[in-house]
Chains A and B, each alone.
Chain A
């Protein structure tokens, strides 16, 4: 838990662009492809050597570190080859902007699906498995008691002030204090991480990430599976359970920290984000959770955009060293792929993989079939003409896992505690997606690292509280109608007795009136 929490820095949105020279295609289509892809943004990808490490790291994913990265510095000067096709000075700026927007829009879509999936998993779990809405072993309706598990104890270290206070003011104060503690823990851990990174303690960081992902993939999955089985009253013996959890966890560790199919890695990242979000929803006290959401989006804004923010410093350090920034905790929507040369023999072209991109499949280089495991980057062979240099391209947009987690916490809490039921949940869902869309478009426009949380969480909070209160007033008003109808049903008979009907608030009142009706008769 400490590890998981500790890795909470702030989420980020980050895009890469690179160039691909696909020499086995006809030259004109090559340029079209290049134009399209290269126009992504003027932000660039690190040079090929670093992309390889970046890719390794890409497959790492663990724990709950939301990340913010900076998408931005201009490699233009460093590597003129990088924009042979797009971003060329000769291109009219209007066209470039248009393509930029088109690319921004494309990434919006690429991220909608995983964010939606994560939220669906969390909402489905909240609505069906009672465990995650129980507070410390007590069912909200008092139907029974269950012992909560140890994680409750560890999370209450971060939120020691109870919300079980007599007055509203005290409760608010306690939740603000809890938030302060939580945010300071997050800030401290982030700074610790930055310091570790600055002093190149990579082994420590990797060990930390591995421990976090081990905990998420094994312990939390075990708890989750146990609760789901309990909810649906399905019996599972321990050997089967062990086998299932072991397989799930082991494959997850391999996919996230080493190599694996992109879709599987994405699926695992979504699942661990959902698990982490469920833990937060269960163990954070109610008001504290909302205040924490607000505070963390403010922190995100401050930390990304201020010059001395820890994450910004981290990003800059990584860029100075030309290394990718902790790809371990980042969801990537496309894989890195290497492009082979036309004259290479087929065996080396086995290293080709295609980015998961339906649009690109329209081009002629989808003849290589399904993308497989991301492979090691092949160094360019000497003796080939300069134009045919092998390039590695990283496409797609990256979103930190913390973004997934906090979006899902928002929507999950709306599902768990919203009095408007599905309306509140849907409103928050739409709000988060709108915020994400705006953030990605701003990213395309401003071309620098942007925090992914503030806009979405702000909209989400506004929508939650307004929809919640709207439903409250609606519900109170709606109660008048059924009451009136009941009056009409019994009204005739009661008029006979001359009894005056009041609003039927309890059944006892009705019984009383009925008794009065019958007695004179």
Chain B
């Protein structure tokens, strides 16, 4: 298989996750590490109490992204390395789109982990046990869907529907609203990072 397949699938699977990392975490690594240590060691008493609410959401997002990237990498990196070697995909009758489908599946799992992280942390904080249960059940559902893997149509479409639903839920849980979404899309939101970049 060609280098085009390798790079294409690699970017499909990890592109959005890397973009999220570069644009949101890489610019403020200290804040992230600092939050994580601060949360991890309460005894140091370094956390400003006013910052508890937004920092917990940031922690949820970061941990979701971390879990997602690790799970995506572990599930996909061997497939990617095989795609650089010789071979014919699907010679025994399997789907020849194996790599592409795996890449999309990996992408959706990474995004799901991010959303699950946000919803789960919020559920834990506000003691909304239903949220925790839904996260757990959808996790099991998506994993079960991967068992029917040769039938990529059902597999991918249902997982993407789930990710859209989870995304919307996580958006509202994280404090977004239709109004803030509109402001963001019209680049009028002062807190959004693109706005800051434009104003420079």
Q: Do A and B come from one complex?
A: yes
**Chain A interface (Cβ within 8 Å of chain B)?**
94, 97-98, 101-102, 104-106, 108-109, 420-423, 426-427, 430, 437, 441, 445, 485-486, 489
Contact check, A422 vs B81: say whether CB atoms are below 8 A apart: yes
Contact check, A97 vs B37: say whether CB atoms are below 8 A apart: no
Task: Knowing A94-B46, A426-B73 are in contact, say whether A105-B78 is a contact too (CB < 8 A).
Answer: no
Task: Knowing A105-B30, A485-B92 are in contact, say whether A426-B44 is a contact too (CB < 8 A).
Answer: no
- List the B side residues contacting A108 at CB < 8 Å: 33
Cα separation A427 to B33 with both chains bound (whole Å): 20
- List the B side residues contacting A489 at CB < 8 Å: 92-93
Q: Does B123 contact A (CB under 8 A)?
A: no
Residues of B134-190 whose CB lies within 8 A of A = none
| Closest beta carbon of chain A to B128's beta carbon, Å | 31
Chain A CB within 10 Å, residue with most, of B29, B33, B45: B33
Cα separation A94 to B45 with both chains bound (whole Å): 7
- Beyond A98-B46, A426-B77, A486-B92: 9 further Cβ-contacts under 8 Å? A97-B44, A97-B46, A102-B34, A105-B30, A108-B33, A109-B30, A109-B33, A422-B81, A445-B44
User: Among the listed A101, A109, A430, which residue makes an inter-chain contact with B29, where contact means beta carbons less than 8 Å apart?
Assistant: A109
- List the A side residues contacting B45 at CB < 8 Å: 94, 97
- List the B side residues contacting A441 at CB < 8 Å: 37
For B48, give the chain A residue with the smallest CB separation. Answer: A98
- List the A side residues contacting B93 at CB < 8 Å: 489
Cα separation A502 to B57 with both chains bound (whole Å): 55
- List the B side residues contacting A104 at CB < 8 Å: 37
For A103, give the chain B residue with the smallest CB separation. Answer: B30
User: Among the listed A94, A97, A105, which residue makes an inter-chain contact with B33, where contact means beta carbons less than 8 Å apart?
Assistant: A105
Task: Knowing A98-B46, A101-B37, A105-B37 are in contact, say whether A423-B74 is a contact too (CB < 8 A).
Answer: yes
Cα separation A485 to B29 with both chains bound (whole Å): 48
- List the A side residues contacting B46 at CB < 8 Å: 94, 97-98, 101
Please list 29 pairs of residues, one from A and one from B, whose beta carbons are closer than 8 Å in the complex, sorted by A's number: A94-B45, A94-B46, A97-B44, A97-B45, A97-B46, A98-B46, A101-B34, A101-B37, A101-B38, A101-B46, A102-B30, A105-B34, A105-B37, A109-B29, A109-B33, A421-B78, A421-B81, A422-B77, A422-B78, A422-B81, A423-B78, A426-B74, A426-B77, A427-B74, A430-B70, A437-B33, A485-B92, A486-B92, A489-B93
For B75, give the chain A residue with the smallest CB separation. Answer: A423
Cα separation A44 to B47 with both chains bound (whole Å): 26
Cα separation A98 to B33 with both chains bound (whole Å): 12
Contact-size category for B: 10 to 19
A-B contact count (CB 8 A): 46
| Closest beta carbon of chain A to B88's beta carbon, Å | 15
- List the A side residues contacting B81 at CB < 8 Å: 421-422
- List the B side residues contacting A98 at CB < 8 Å: 34, 46
A-B residue pairs, 5 tightest by C-beta: A105-B33, A98-B46, A422-B77, A105-B30, A97-B46
Task: Knowing A97-B46, A422-B77, A489-B92 are in contact, say whether A105-B29 is a contact too (CB < 8 A).
Answer: yes
For A93, give the chain B residue with the smallest CB separation. Answer: B45
Main secondary structure of the interface of A (DSSP, over half): helix
- List the B side residues contacting A105 at CB < 8 Å: 29-30, 33-34, 37
Cα separation A335 to B70 with both chains bound (whole Å): 34
| Closest beta carbon of chain A to B56's beta carbon, Å | 18
| Closest beta carbon of chain A to B34's beta carbon, Å | 5
| Closest beta carbon of chain B to A269's beta carbon, Å | 23
- List the B side residues contacting A445 at CB < 8 Å: 44
- List the B side residues contacting A486 at CB < 8 Å: 92
Cα separation A510 to B92 with both chains bound (whole Å): 15
Cα separation A335 to B34 with both chains bound (whole Å): 25
Residues of B184-198 whose CB lies within 8 A of A = none
Cα separation A98 to B44 with both chains bound (whole Å): 8
| Closest beta carbon of chain B to A389's beta carbon, Å | 30
| Closest beta carbon of chain A to B147's beta carbon, Å | 11
Cα separation A421 to B45 with both chains bound (whole Å): 43
Contact check, A106 vs B92: say whether CB atoms are below 8 A apart: no
For A437, give the chain B residue with the smallest CB separation. Answer: B33
- List the B side residues contacting A423 at CB < 8 Å: 74, 77-78
Residues of B84-111 whose CB lies within 8 A of A = 92-93
- List the A side residues contacting B77 at CB < 8 Å: 422-423, 426
Residues of B15-68 whose CB lies within 8 A of A = 29-30, 33-34, 37-38, 44-46
Cα separation A104 to B33 with both chains bound (whole Å): 9
- List the B side residues contacting A109 at CB < 8 Å: 29-30, 33
For A127, give the chain B residue with the smallest CB separation. Answer: B81
- List the B side residues contacting A106 at CB < 8 Å: 30
Cα separation A108 to B70 with both chains bound (whole Å): 20
- List the A side residues contacting B33 at CB < 8 Å: 105, 108-109, 437
Cα separation A445 to B38 with both chains bound (whole Å): 12
Cα separation A37 to B42 with both chains bound (whole Å): 24
For A106, give the chain B residue with the smallest CB separation. Answer: B30
For A423, give the chain B residue with the smallest CB separation. Answer: B74
Cα separation A324 to B81 with both chains bound (whole Å): 46
- List the A side residues contacting B73 at CB < 8 Å: 426
- List the B side residues contacting A430 at CB < 8 Å: 70
Cα separation A423 to B74 with both chains bound (whole Å): 6
Chain A CB within 10 Å, residue with most, of B29, B30, B45, B78: B30
Cα separation A102 to B37 with both chains bound (whole Å): 10
Cα separation A400 to B62 with both chains bound (whole Å): 31
Cα separation A443 to B33 with both chains bound (whole Å): 15
Cα separation A427 to B44 with both chains bound (whole Å): 30
| Closest beta carbon of chain A to B200's beta carbon, Å | 14
| Closest beta carbon of chain B to A150's beta carbon, Å | 34
- List the A side residues contacting B30 at CB < 8 Å: 102, 105-106, 109
For A95, give the chain B residue with the smallest CB separation. Answer: B46
Cα separation A244 to B79 with both chains bound (whole Å): 38
| Closest beta carbon of chain A to B43's beta carbon, Å | 10
